[in-house]
Amino acid sequence: MVSDLAKKGAFYLFVAAIVFYAVFPFYYAIVTSFKTGTSIFQVDYLPTSFNLENYKSVFSSGGRPMTLDDVLHFNITGFPLNFINSIVVSTLVVALALLIAVTASYALSRVRFRGRGLLLMTILSVSMFPQIAVLAGLFELIRAFHLFNTTFALVFSYTIFTLPFTVWVLTTFMRDLPVEIEEAAIVDGASAWVIITRVFMPLLWPALVTTGLLAFIAAWNEFLFALTFTLDNAHRTVPVAISQLTGASDHEIPWGPIMAACVIVTLPLIVLVLIFQRKIIAGLTAGGVKG
């Protein structure tokens, strides 16, 4: 009986350790983001102050706090602009990938044709090969298309990892839809296009949300392409902007604003993840996506 209790205690201790380990760094970033001045250099394990100064400085546009007027007139610079860039890039690239992937996955999951296995393997290998291997070629292509230092350069280049992934996951989802539905539609004389848009789409919504979300997160977090294909702050996305937040010297790194920026860009993701927890896990295991 005692050993049973000890076992249970040890188990819960282990689980508590997991939760602590997973959550602590983010907790500490939040605690730090509310501290200003010299208090930031004092190590506190528990929250000590609640000061929004860092958040104000992150949300300032052109050296002064951003106003509603600025937003309405698109007079936005600095970090808020980076935030908007990230949203625009991620949304566009997800829309593009889903648009192309839905029809392709229908063909890959529902029609048996020669070379299907090979095509699937090619798609999988594209999603796995290193981004650096295409960096030079993409750089040339983006220059040739006059896309360098624009947000479209990122939409264009991000397709390389969002598209294969969406196709792969949607294909696994679609192959599990019952054949009978499709057969009934065919008997009624529906074309492949009608089957996709009228019969499959309503059933596919959950899958589309999941894949879209995962692709969105991947695009939101991307760094190498964003660093290489944009030059000035006006076109940067959030990850690059955060990496470039530095002070005048090494000793003046603005840790407070950096932590505030970190919290701001992470909060939406965490909320999304917690809401769509189950769907995300299903999508992750189906796609074997990278972390």
Partner 1 sequence: MSDVAALPSRAALPRNQGLSDLSRERLRSAWIFLVPMCLALLIVAGWPLARSIWFSVTDTETDHIGQGDFIGLANYLTWKTLPSGRTVFYGVLVNPEWWNAVWNTVRFAVVSVACETLLGMAVALALNANFPGRGIVRAAILVPWAIPTIVSAKMWAWMLNDQFGIINDFFLRIGLISHKIAFTATDSTSMFAVLAVDIWKTTPFMALLILAGLQLVPNDIYEAAAIDGVHPLKVFWRVTLPLVRPAIMVAVIFRFMDAMRIFDLVYVLTPNSSATKTMSVIARENMFDFNKIGYGSAMSTLLFLILLGSITLYLWLGRVNLSGDGER
Residues 244-263 close enough to bind partner 1 by CB under 8 A: 255, 258-259, 262
Does 11 interact with partner 1 (rule: CB under 8 A)? Answer: yes
> Which span (50-58, 63-71, 77-85, 134-142) binds partner 1, by CB under 8 A?
134-142
Confirm or reject binding of residue 133 to partner 1 (CB under 8 A): yes
List the one residue from 94, 108, 204, 208 that touches partner 1 (CB under 8 A). 108
Q: Which of 3, 69, 130, 249 binds partner 1 (CB under 8 A)?
A: 130
From 76, 84, 126, 185, residue interacting with partner 1 (rule: CB under 8 A): 126
Selected binder of partner 1 within 92, 147, 209, 224 (CB under 8 A): 224
Contact status: 84 vs partner 1 (CB under 8 A): no
Cα(34)–Cα(85) distance, integer angstroms: 26
DSSP 3-state assignment of 60? strand
CB closer to partner 1, 70 vs 194: 194
Q: Which is nearer to partner 1, 44 or 52 (CB)?
A: 44
244 by Cβ neighbours in 10 Å (0-12 / 13-18 / 19+) ranks as: exposed
Long-range contacts of the stretch 219-224 (C-beta < 8 A, 24+): 219/89, 219/90, 219/93, 219/94, 219/154, 219/158, 219/162, 220/86, 220/90, 220/265, 220/269, 222/154, 222/158, 222/161, 224/131, 224/132, 224/135
Tokens of 86: 């990230």
Using the rule CB under 8 A, is 95 a contact of partner 1? no
Of 55, 164, 216, 230, the one binding partner 1 by CB under 8 A: 164
Provide the β-strand partners of residue 181: none
Judged by CB, which is closer to partner 1: 78, or 239? 239
* Residue 269 contacts partner 1 per CB under 8 A: yes
Alpha-carbon distance of 107 to 116, in angstroms, equals: 9
In the region spanning residues 18 to 47, those forming contacts with partner 1, defined by CB under 8 A, are 18-19, 21-23, 25-26, 28-29, 32, 40-43, 45
Collect all residues with Cβ–Cβ distance below 8 Å to 109 and sequence separation of at least 6: 170, 171, 172, 174, 175
Count how many Cα atoms sit within 13 Å of the Cα of residue 262 in the half-sphere of its side chain: 19
Residues from 176 through 195 that contact partner 1 (CB under 8 A) = 179, 182-183, 186, 191-193
Which one of residues 135, 147, 185, 234 is an interface residue with partner 1 (CB under 8 A)? 135
CA angle 160, 164, 169 (to 5 degrees): 145
- Is 277 a residue that touches partner 1 (CB under 8 A)? yes
